[in-house]
A and B are shown apart, each in its own frame.
Chain A
Amino acid sequence: MLAYFAKRIGMMVVTLFLIITLTFFLMHAIPGGPFTSEKMLAPEIEEALNAKYGLNDPLWVQYLNYLKGIITLDLGPSFKYPGIRVNDLILDGLPVTAKTGFLALLCVAALGIPLGILAALNQNKWQDTAVMMLATVGVAIPSYVVATVALYIFALQLNLVPTFGLDDWRGYILPVAALSGFWLSFIARLSRSSLLEVLGQDYIVTAKAKGLHPLSILFKHGLRNALIPIVTVLGPVVANLLTGSFVIEQIFALPGIGRHFVLSISNRDYTTIMGITIFYAAFLMVMILIVDILYMLLDPRIKLADRNK
């Protein structure tokens, strides 16, 4: 058990290190320094800026410094906002992103899974057809289209919700809906097929032959096993809710990390791009670890596989 975790965390650190390295060198492979594009900059000022941010050092020195910074949880200064550090930008956006992201995740799990179960239990009946149709729509239409169309209809035309900002709870409705739409549908489809698959297994017949109560069969034998593949995709779901939030925050003008990220992209604020990327990656690694633990709790076969190694 412990050895397994040590191994997992080791893997995680190595992966993160690879991502940091890759990101760093990718960003530094972009032709021209970060200040070259600024038209108004006189050469001596650019020189001074380069010196200030240590950009005249050899690349590997810069790299080591950056790594050093990351170990002390410092993602360096923003190149575009003087005096502001990338950490500040992330901390500034975190509450909004975390809140919408969490709500969206909640929607995905609390609506997607029950909808999938509903469909599976009524296979080929109207409930199934309705859920599957909705889910197909949800999977097919890109989130930014959902977001803009919803914004137009509910905010601009019907005035039911504010067009931007999160001043009251109604402000959350559209962003959370747009953010969770795809994954809600995806999870509903996955839950349906997973539950159907499980309910077709021999051990469900065994459970019936034992004369268990149908609810016991559904929950203890059906859902418990059907949840396993759902849990395994929760990691990617979190990842995609995060990246999905780039556009959603943009469209609804929400001051989250995603907005800073998109802004930093159009500003070519390389340190911020790099910093936020690494932050995302680290966050996801942790999420994946959590999902792994959940997975292990649900599926005893996994434990053994690793105990034996």
Chain B
Amino acid sequence: MNNLNQKIDPQQWAPAKVDAGEAEFIAAPSLTFWQDVRSRLWQNRPAMFSLAFIILLVAAAIFGPMISRHTYFDQDLKLSNIPPILQLYEVQNEGQAATYFFLNSGNFKLYETTEDGELKSILRAKRKDLINKRHIYEFGERRIFVDYSTLPARIVDADENAIDAYGTKWNKTYWFGTDSLGRDVLVRQLYGARISLTVAFIATLVNFFIGIFYGGVAGYFGGNVDNIMMRIVEVIATIPLTLYVILMMVVLQSGFISIIVAIGTVFWVDMARIVRGQMLTLKNQDYVDAAKTMGASTWHILTRHLLPNSIGPILVTLTLLIPSAIFIESFMSFIGLGVSVPMASWGTLTSEAVETLRSYPYQLFFPAAAISLTMFAFNFLGDGLRDALDPRLRK
């Protein structure tokens, strides 16, 4: 307590100027709730990357198939199962430009290409020696042999010397290669994204409206209406949803519309519960009473006061519904109950790839990566949104 009687500059005893006090006391900038949410979301790297990824994906799914020179259904069996990365060989011919070709190690066919990996055409074998397991090709004067008596297949010249590869090139014609029917994998991927995302978005919207309506009605009216409606929800919740979707698909027959109907009518239960819960808590709050006494209509209260306040949890549920819908669609397609051929979705692409897994494992890569990344993105975004909306959960 050494400063108890210290000398103080007399000026200091003057009454404090109010604004001086004010200046000292600037509180942290106060943000509105939504500004706060946005800034928190913005700081969440994974969520923002996910959002960017989703936007890119949607754009690619919409515009990709339009600008591609291939279509998702054009088949060319001569050009089947071509990989995205080509191992090129070179044959020199006197007086002529060199010929480039690559060997498809899965089916031992040769394809002529340009030097930088543009696919020209399949090469015809002069003779196929099935006993010694070799195909004979002629390039002008030169003969080469595809020897597949030992695997992996090799290319040898007339003197039995193995010819070394000229180099590896990215497939310029089919960036992601072709599938077993010779269709462009990239455009089918993008097309698959289109189908998967469309199904997921529409189904989620349908669920959203059913859930909002159901939960809103139950929560708003409360009492017996609420009791009965929630009993029904309890019963529905005990039915495994995948089984229900399967049954619906069996009954409706596979197809684009069926899968939307089937998925669109199963996932609303969570949404309904959340909306009801929100409605019940908000219903008793003062501003609703205030609106009521001012003679606002039920509909007005519902849309102007209650929904805007419950939008947070609803948004999160919605974001997390999308990956569920994507998953269930691909699951159905995978077991053969999704969209019908030649339509493609990520599920059908995966199951097609599984059939050729032994010979062309890389075909599994693209659909598996696409669906996994998309699921990631939506999950991260959903988690990020939830954290941003509910700061209590943030650390």
Determine whether A and B are in direct contact in the complex, meaning some CB atoms lie less than 8 angstroms apart. yes
Residues in A lying within 8 Å of B, measured CB to CB? 11, 14-15, 18-19, 23, 26-27, 29-30, 123-124, 136-137, 139-142, 144-145, 148-149, 151-152, 156, 236, 239-240, 242-243, 246-247, 250-251, 262, 265-266, 268, 270, 273, 277, 280-281, 284-285, 288
B242 contact set on A, CB distance < 8 A: 240, 243, 246
Complex CA distance for A145 and B373, rounded to whole angstroms: 12
Q: Are A140 and B372 in contact (CB under 8 A)?
A: yes
User: Smallest CB–CB gap between B389 and chain A, Å?
Assistant: 15
Complex CA distance for A252 and B16, rounded to whole angstroms: 81
Name the residue of chain A whose CB is nearest to the CB of B336: A266
Complex CA distance for A284 and B243, rounded to whole angstroms: 12
Partner of A242, one of B239, B240, B330, B336: B240
Complex CA distance for A239 and B243, rounded to whole angstroms: 9
Name the residue of chain A whose CB is nearest to the CB of B383: A136
Asked whether any CB of chain A lies closer than 8 Å to the CB of B69, the reply is no
Partner of A262, one of B238, B335, B354: B335
Complex CA distance for A271 and B376, rounded to whole angstroms: 39
Name the residue of chain A whose CB is nearest to the CB of B326: A142
User: Smallest CB–CB gap between A74 and chain B, Å?
Assistant: 21
Asked whether any CB of chain A lies closer than 8 Å to the CB of B53, the reply is no
B358 contact set on A, CB distance < 8 A: 156
Residues from 72 to 87 in B contacting A, C-beta threshold 8 Å:
none
Complex CA distance for A274 and B334, rounded to whole angstroms: 21
A123 contact set on B, CB distance < 8 A: 395
A277 contact set on B, CB distance < 8 A: 243, 246-247
Complex CA distance for A242 and B242, rounded to whole angstroms: 10
Q: Are B337 and A265 in contact (CB under 8 A)?
A: yes
Q: Are B327 and A142 in contact (CB under 8 A)?
A: yes
User: Smallest CB–CB gap between A280 and chain B, Å?
Assistant: 6
User: Smallest CB–CB gap between A285 and chain B, Å?
Assistant: 7
User: B interface, how many residues as a size bin?
Assistant: 20 to 34
User: Smallest CB–CB gap between A19 and chain B, Å?
Assistant: 6
A140 contact set on B, CB distance < 8 A: 323, 372, 375-376, 379
Name the residue of chain B whose CB is nearest to the CB of A132: B383
Partner of A273, one of B250, B323, B350, B380: B250
Q: Are B371 and A145 in contact (CB under 8 A)?
A: yes
Name the residue of chain A whose CB is nearest to the CB of B46: A136
A124 contact set on B, CB distance < 8 A: 395
Residues in B lying within 8 Å of A, measured CB to CB? 235, 238-240, 242-243, 246-248, 250-251, 323, 327, 330-331, 334-337, 350, 353-354, 357-358, 361, 364, 368, 371-372, 375-376, 379-380, 395
Complex CA distance for A76 and B293, rounded to whole angstroms: 62
Q: Are B350 and A243 in contact (CB under 8 A)?
A: no
Q: Are B251 and A149 in contact (CB under 8 A)?
A: no
Complex CA distance for A277 and B246, rounded to whole angstroms: 10
Q: Are B251 and A250 in contact (CB under 8 A)?
A: no
Complex CA distance for A219 and B69, rounded to whole angstroms: 63
User: Smallest CB–CB gap between B175 and chain A, Å?
Assistant: 22
Q: Are A148 and B372 in contact (CB under 8 A)?
A: no
A139 contact set on B, CB distance < 8 A: 375, 379
Q: Are A247 and B331 in contact (CB under 8 A)?
A: yes
Complex CA distance for A262 and B334, rounded to whole angstroms: 11
Closest 3 CB pairs of A and B: A243-B242, A140-B375, A239-B240
Partner of A136, one of B248, B327, B379: B379
Can you sample 8 A-B contacts with CB below 8 Å?
A26-B251, A29-B251, A141-B371, A141-B376, A145-B368, A148-B357, A265-B335, A273-B250
B331 contact set on A, CB distance < 8 A: 142, 144, 247
Instruction: Name A's interface SS.
Output: helix
B372 contact set on A, CB distance < 8 A: 140-142, 145
Name the residue of chain B whose CB is nearest to the CB of A283: B240
Complex CA distance for A266 and B361, rounded to whole angstroms: 25
User: Smallest CB–CB gap between A70 and chain B, Å?
Assistant: 17
Q: Are A148 and B240 in contact (CB under 8 A)?
A: no
Name the residue of chain B whose CB is nearest to the CB of A15: B235
B334 contact set on A, CB distance < 8 A: 144, 247
Partner of B238, one of A156, A240, A284: A284
Q: Are A27 and B251 in contact (CB under 8 A)?
A: yes
Complex CA distance for A145 and B346, rounded to whole angstroms: 11
Q: Are B354 and A136 in contact (CB under 8 A)?
A: no
Name the residue of chain A whose CB is nearest to the CB of B249: A265
A149 contact set on B, CB distance < 8 A: 364, 368
A239 contact set on B, CB distance < 8 A: 240
Partner of A285, one of B238, B323, B361: B238
Name the residue of chain B whose CB is nearest to the CB of A285: B238
A137 contact set on B, CB distance < 8 A: 376
B243 contact set on A, CB distance < 8 A: 243, 277, 280-281
User: Smallest CB–CB gap between A151 and chain B, Å?
Assistant: 7
Name the residue of chain B whose CB is nearest to the CB of A124: B395
Name the residue of chain B whose CB is nearest to the CB of A251: B354
Known A140-B323, A148-B354; judge A246-B335 contact (CB<8 A): yes
Q: Are B239 and A19 in contact (CB under 8 A)?
A: yes
Q: Are A15 and B238 in contact (CB under 8 A)?
A: yes
User: Smallest CB–CB gap between A82 and chain B, Å?
Assistant: 21
